[in-house]
Amino acid sequence: MDGDHAACEGALAAGCRFVAGYPITPSTEVVERFAQRIPLIGGVFIQMEDEIASSIAILGAVWAGRKAMTVTSGPGLSLMMEHVGLAAITETPCVFVDVQRGGPSTGLPTLPGQADMMQARWGSHGDYEPIALSPNSPQECFDLMITAFNLAEVYRVPVFFMMDEVVGHMTERVVIPDASAIEVVERRWTRKPPSEYRPYAADGDLVPEMVKAGDGYRIHITGLTHDEKGYPAMNPAGQKRMVERLVAKIRNNREKLIDVRGEHLDDAEIVVVSFGITSRVAGPAIEEARRQGLKVGHLRLVITWPFPTSVIRQLAPRVKAFVVPELNMGQMVLEVERAAAGKTRAISVPHAGGTVHEPAEILARIQEAVR
Amino acid sequence: MSDLLVTKGCPTETCAPAALNLQLQNPVMPYLRQERIPHIWCPGCGIGTTVNCFARALEESGLNMDKVAIVSGIGCTGRVAGYMNLDSFHTTHGRPIPFATGLKLANPELKVVVYSGDGDLFAIGGNHFFHAARRNMDIMVVCVNNHTYGMTGGQVAPTTPIGATLTTMPFGNFEDAFNLPFVADACGAVYVARWTVYHVKQLARAMKEGLAKKGFVFIEAMAPCPTLYSRRNKLGDGVDQLKYFKEKSVIKHGANTKDVGLTFQGEIVVGKFVDRERPTWLDSMNEHFAKYFGDKYQRYGGDHA
């Protein structure tokens, strides 16, 4: 099964029953499979008039009680940014799948890129903290998609599923476990009666309980700065209270939200930091370097946002350099550099996209870094 | 005071309690979020009048208010959702229709109303309007048309008639305006009506009919914007605009929507222009899949958790 199809199956396994999308290469297979599968499962697929509509239709579906996602690629993601922000401020759990291709603009529709990483983090205006995951295989497209939906429910944030053209179109064996073996997080519905319920009142974990339209709560949900009742509170105090909580509910859980996979880190002098498809290409380069006697480790970022700052910070004082290959002109390397905070170097291995790195390019930078 | 009412106005016993109730509570109040009043609208603005009509339509609709949701976009009319005592959503500029689409399809038991302004629905949101009408999405769209962008200070809108002056057409508008009922009709709406805020009874009745109608319903409610549109165009205040609505309106039920375009301070054709049947998107989906999959297909819609 290819990554696009596996991503769809992962969403279904996670309980996603509503998808709104707009055709765009190389992501369309995800929604095509959903359209094929959903009638007999029970749910809705609708092809909307554009990505703007798709990205807000899913928010409507979530407020009616469903789990929902939309699927796109770079140009579509640019259009969806409006509703990434609305999802963030209204705390609507949802998943945005981005099968990345080369950009900017129409760029390379059929060829891979990883150049939307900063857009996923910062693309919509204002302060908010999204979550992003970067699968590197069809199996992970299935497994991590379930994680993506679960994290969306736990933190009530938009979650980005950052695939790329190669992962999307790569065919590998995918093991789909029995439904009973899959952990699915359900929405945190309130048990409070309407008279006591306030949509944006949060306890210690800063994540409010949810209700859906039609249950008699008569909620008001707005994209304006709002108070605990959900009513507009457009003043510095209201803004402070709301934005600080929106940011803190993720920042306070940064350590919990670390998902990295390490290899040969114990003796590593050089650590290659990678994510998504680039981690598959970095593997052979690291093996070859180790064959040559170089002490090279591999740190793969599975959750890319929030960035695992503390992991880099711990490694930084004892490594000679981080080497960061990515299919962009240097995005996540900036985060590595920030986290390393001058304790060691962060060496970028940029690539404009359209294909993946040659392992030799990464090896060459590792060899340089050792010297 | 109650004694006065009973003895003076109501000779029979039966009408006395009704008179008392009037004193105690305006019938539209239960439909408003009273803690959010006063509203933000200017004196003479017509939006509040449309809300009054909408509340009366809700009152008479017989619908369970827990199952009615209202969705607004951005702008002066965009604030309507925030004042209604319903599940209410104040979304992004131009996008209430696709939000409402998701809401309706995810829980078909809901009656979903989109309430927004002409700029929101027909400039930035135009594409969504066309396609929701084409699909016959089962939602009612109320468009308060005041010919301008009020919230941002009176700029030209896709509904501004030629000749009106706006901040971004300081020498007078030279762009053609949309004829909204014609657009709605052409795109496939099953119910299309236009009234002004002078026609409160008719507007409330149209909204009531719209709430009972299945499919994509479009109601244009013309309203004055005295602060920005009327003043800049030397048209007087809200009352003067109501006089204009009264004097220049012509009721033509069933009029060809092609012929109901508006001109600057010209004749206003009002009435119910379209009332027809078409299967909704969801009904079409269910029927199609039932035919295609046979017994394997379970009708979608009544199973909402």
Q: Any alpha helices (H) in chain B, and if so which ranges?
A: 2-4, 15-24, 47-61, 80-83, 96-106, 118-119, 126-135, 180-187, 200-212, 231-232, 238-248, 281-293
d(CA A77, CA A353): 18
**Between chains, do B69 and A54 touch, taking CB under 8 Å as contact?**
no
Q: Which residues in chain B have their CB less than 8 angstroms from residue A44's CB?
A: 105-106, 285, 300
pLDDT at B3: 40
Look up residue B43 and give its amino acid.
P
Alpha carbon distance B162, A66 (integer Å): 46
Residue A346 backbone class (left: φ over 0; alpha: ψ -120 to 50; beta: rest): beta
Which of A344, A317, A322 shows the shortest CA–CA distance to A333?
A322
Contact B180, B147 (CB under 8 A): no
Separation between Cα atoms, residue B294 and residue B268, nearest integer Å: 51
Are A147 and A294 contained in the same domain? no
How far, in Å, are A130, A157, A199 from residue A91 at the CA level?
11, 6, 10
- Same domain, residue pair A24 and A172: yes
Final residue before a domain boundary, out of A130, A156, A181 = A181
CATH topology of domain B43-296: Rossmann fold (3.40.50)
Cα gap B19→A222, rounded to integer Å: 38
Per domain, the residue ranges of chain B are 1-31, 43-296
The pLDDT value recorded for residue B12 is 44
Residue A126 lies in a domain: yes
CB contact under 8 A, A57 and B101: yes
- 8 A C-beta contact, residue B146 and residue B229: yes
Chosen from A222, A224, A234 to mutate, greatest number of chain B CBs within 10 A: A222
Other CB atoms within 10 A of residue A110 CB: 11
Tell me what the mean pLDDT of segment A287-312 comes to: 98
Residue A204 lies in a domain: no
CB atoms B105 and A18 under 8 Å: yes
Q: Which regions of chain B are under pLDDT 50?
A: 1-16, 304-305
Only one residue has tokens 């409070």, namely A192
- Percent of chain A residues past pLDDT 90, beyond the cut: 99
Tens of pLDDT, residue by residue over A230-244, are 999 999 999 999 999
A-B C-beta contacts closer than 8 Å: 147
CB contact under 8 A, B90 and A221: yes
> Which of A300, A230, A295 shows the shortest CA–CA distance to A258?
A300
pLDDT surpasses 70 at A342: yes
Region A284-289: what's the mean pLDDT?
Answer: 98
Mean pLDDT of A196-216: 97
DSSP 8-state code for residue B298: P
- Taking the C-alpha atoms of residue B166 and residue B195, their distance in angstroms, rounded to an integer, is 24
Q: pLDDT (tens digit, 9 = 90+) per residue, A134-177? A: 999 999 999 999 999 999 999 999 999 999 999 999 999 999 99
Does residue A203 lie within any of the structural domains?
A: no
Interchain CB contact of A59 with B (< 8 Å): yes
User: Residue A8 — φ and ψ, nearest 5°?
Assistant: -60, -45
Which structure tokens are listed for B109?
């038991």
Residue matched to tokens 């809705």: A44
Residues B73 and B94 sit within 8 Å (Cβ to Cβ): yes
Q: Which residues pair with A296 in a beta bridge?
A: A270
B104 and A60 within 8 Å at the Cβ level: the answer is yes
Mutate to test the interface with A, among B91, B93, B112 (most CBs of A within 10 A): B91
CATH at A11? 3.40.50.970
Q: Could you write out the three-class secondary structure of B95-156?
A: CHHHHHHHHHHHCCCCEEEEEEEHHHHHHHCHHHHHHHHHHCCCEEEEEEECCEECCCCCEE
Residue A12 in any domain: the answer is yes
Place of tokens 């295609």: B292
Count Cβ atoms below 10 Å from residue A314 Cβ, excluding itself: 12
Element (H, E) at A77: helix A74-90
In a domain, A197, yes or no: no
B239 burial type by CB count under 10 A (0-12 exposed, 13-18 middle, 19+ buried): exposed
Instruction: Determine, for residues A223 and B71 on separate chains, whether the beta-carbon distance falls below 8 Å.
Output: no
The pLDDT tens digits of the residues spanning A175-188 come to: 999 999 999 999 99
Do both A285 and A146 map to the same domain? no
Distance between A37 CA and the closest CA of chain B, angstroms = 12
A370 touches chain B (CB under 8 A): no
CB-based contact A278:A357 (threshold 8 Å)? yes
ipTM of the complex: 0.97
Q: Cα distance from B134 to chain A (closest Cα, Å)?
A: 11
CB pair distance less than 8 Å for B128 and A53: yes
Question: What's the confidence (pLDDT) of residue A371?
Answer: 85
Sign for the CA dihedral angle at B229, B234, B236, B237 comes to: positive
Question: What does the alpha-carbon distance between residue A32 and residue A51 come to, in Å, rounded to a whole number?
Answer: 16
Report how far residue A115's alpha carbon sits from residue B214's, in angstroms, rounded to the nearest whole number.
45
* Rounded CA separation B29/B34 (Å): 7
A-chain CB neighbours of B128 within 8 Å are 49, 53
- A175 with A278, same domain: the answer is no
Mean pLDDT, residues A65-86: 98
Strand partners, A305: A132
Q: Please judge whether B102 and A49 are an interchain contact, meaning their C-beta atoms are less than 8 angstroms apart.
A: no
Task: Report the pLDDT value the prediction gives residue B226, as an integer from 0 to 100.
Answer: 97
Please tell me whether residues A7 and A147 are part of one structural domain.
yes
Tokens of A254: 């940064």
CB-based contact B293 A40, cutoff 8 Å: yes
Of A155, A181, A207, the residue that ends a domain is: A181
Check residue B303 and give its pLDDT.
52
What pLDDT sits at residue B13? 45
Q: Which residue has the higher pLDDT, A340 or B302?
A: A340
Does A172 lie in the same domain as A38?
A: yes
Q: Give the total number of structural domains in chain A.
A: 2
Residues A76-93 have a mean pLDDT of 98
B157: left (phi over 0), alpha (psi -120 to 50) or beta: beta
- pLDDT per residue as tens digits for the range B171-221: 999 999 999 999 999 999 999 999 999 999 999 999 999 999 999 999 999
CB contact under 8 A, B131 and A39: no
Segments forming the whole domain that contains residue A92: 3-181
> A205 in a domain, yes or no?
no
Is 60 exceeded by the pLDDT of residue A75? Answer: yes
- Predicted confidence at residue B25, as pLDDT, reads 79
Find the CB nearest A58 among B85, B91, B102. Answer: B102
